[in-house]
Amino acid sequence: MSVVVERPAQVAPSRRRSTSRLGAGLVLALGVLAVVVFLSITLGARGVDLGTIWAAFTAYDPDSAAHTVIRELRVPRTILGLAVGASLGLGGAILQGATRNPLADPGIMGVNAGAAAFIVTGILVFGAMSLSTYVWLGFLGAGVATAVVYAVASIGREGATPVKLALAGAAISAALYSVTTGVVLSDLGALNELRFWQVGSLAGRYWGVVAQAVPFMAVAVLVALVCGRLLNGLALGEDLATALGQRVRLTRTVLFVTVAVLCGAATAACGPIVFIGLIVPHVARAICGPDYRWIMAYTAVLGPIVLLLADVLGRVVTSPGELQVGVVLGVAGAPAFIALVRLRNLAEL
């Protein structure tokens, strides 16, 4: 009996130390995020001193070009970077947990392909030419594509298994990309407009885009942050999760709807930004282990850090020009993921 009584007393301090360590790490990550936000607002192709930046917030002069750059360009760009980084990271974490596939990212559910197909259709059929219109078309396309992938994967008695989801996502994405390619090759205007969106960028996104896309992402981020317990159940396997009382099909439906909103709004607003949804959840898992409650919290902070750092780097490296964040992440993401795989066995991630 003495052993039984003492065991919780020995385990509890260890759990408290682990929780304290992870909490301290999360606070440190939030501090890094605050520094990155400061850099995103202060650094850019146009040099602006700190006094002018402070005046832009405390004594805004609409006739001042420097004030306009800060208030109308860098601030909405930074806010969008925070929302998109968190959304893509959490979307990738949910997909990796729900499909039990360490290589899952928003592309597996046809998010990028659906958004691109609807934007091209809007340009060709409705003559859409504004970024604010692209947001709604891309959001709708991403949601429809995700729903179709999940519906196709759900056919059959076993439902939407991880393998069927991956296969359905690959098939639907290939079909949508083929349609998109056929359209843009036959219409030069659609090609030019799609090329502007498809590069993946935070530049040129003003307050109108922020107002239309960020509320969706904010709500979905909050939902995603409370889905950690659901993902922990799925990680045990469908049979055990069902035995523990989890309704697996309903859980997956909630998770995939959340992914559709997260990644659909992010992709519609900024274009297909790669590697955030793939790499960031692995980094979070390497820091805090397999508990998705902590993985989701860390991912929500690390995603914006990576995205905003890449955006700042693109502004500084080619100053006075600018390298789009999608290009920076595409160049840096591949070697970073290879390094991550070498440091940790992918099967352990």
Q: Which has the closest alpha carbon to 108: 176, 173, 161? A: 173
pLDDT at 127: 73
Tens digits of residue pLDDT in 187-213:
666 666 667 667 778 887 888 888 888
106 or 76: which carries more pLDDT confidence?
76
Q: What is the mean pLDDT of residues 23-28?
A: 91
pLDDT at 38: 93
pLDDT at 139: 80
Phi and psi at residue 323, in whole multiples of 5°? -105, 125
Question: 36-348 has which fold?
Answer: ABC transporter involved in vitamin B12 uptake, BtuC (1.10.3470)
The answer, yes or no, to whether residue 143 has pLDDT greater than 90, is no
pLDDT at 7: 47
- What is the greatest pairwise CA distance in the chain? 79
Tens digits of residue pLDDT in 253-277:
888 888 888 888 888 888 888 889 8
Average pLDDT along the chain? 81
d(CA 142, CA 198): 14
Per-domain boundaries in the chain = 36-348
pLDDT at 2: 47
Give the pLDDT band of residue 79 (cuts 50, 70, 90).
Answer: very high
Tens digits of residue pLDDT in 226-261:
988 888 888 777 777 777 677 777 888 888 888 888
Q: How many CB atoms lie within 10 A of CB 35?
A: 11
pTM of the model: 0.85
The answer, yes or no, to whether residue 104 has pLDDT greater than 80, is no
Q: How many CB atoms lie within 10 A of CB 53?
A: 19
The answer, yes or no, to whether residue 294 has pLDDT greater than 80, is yes
Give the pLDDT band of residue 67 (cuts 50, 70, 90).
Answer: confident
The answer, yes or no, to whether residue 64 has pLDDT greater than 90, is no
d(CA 53, CA 61): 11
Q: What is the mean pLDDT of residues 133-157?
A: 82
pLDDT at 303: 94
d(CA 190, CA 128): 9
d(CA 84, CA 333): 17
Under 8 Å between Cβ of 179 and 304: no
The answer, yes or no, to whether residue 309 has pLDDT greater than 90, is yes
The answer, yes or no, to whether residue 11 has pLDDT greater than 50, is no
